[in-house]
Amino acid sequence: MNLTLSIAIYFVMWWITLFAILPFGVRSQHESGEVVEGSEPGAPARPLLWWKVLWTTVVSAVLFACLYGAYPYLSF
């Protein structure tokens, strides 16, 4: 697997993983009882995006390592 293909696959995996991880642990302003006036009550109270970016990077790296290890055995 060449470098360009590896970067492209990791990039796509990272974004798919980010969208899968984003909903975890989100509480709306309505659920937490801290609705900011003028905002949507369903908006997240604390989205914790930096933790989600960190977890996305870790999970994507593990998935990519599995794919990279299995790549020689895949037939296209």
pLDDT in tens, 48-62: 999 999 999 999 999
Between 15 and 46, the more confident residue is 15
Alpha-carbon gap, residue 10 to 65, rounded angstroms:
10
The range of the structural domain enclosing residue 47 comes to: 3-32+41-73
Contacts (Cβ under 8 Å, ≥6 apart) of 64: 6, 9, 10, 13
Domain count, the chain: 1
* Per-residue pLDDT tens over the stretch 17-50: 999 999 998 888 888 888 888 888 888 888 899 9
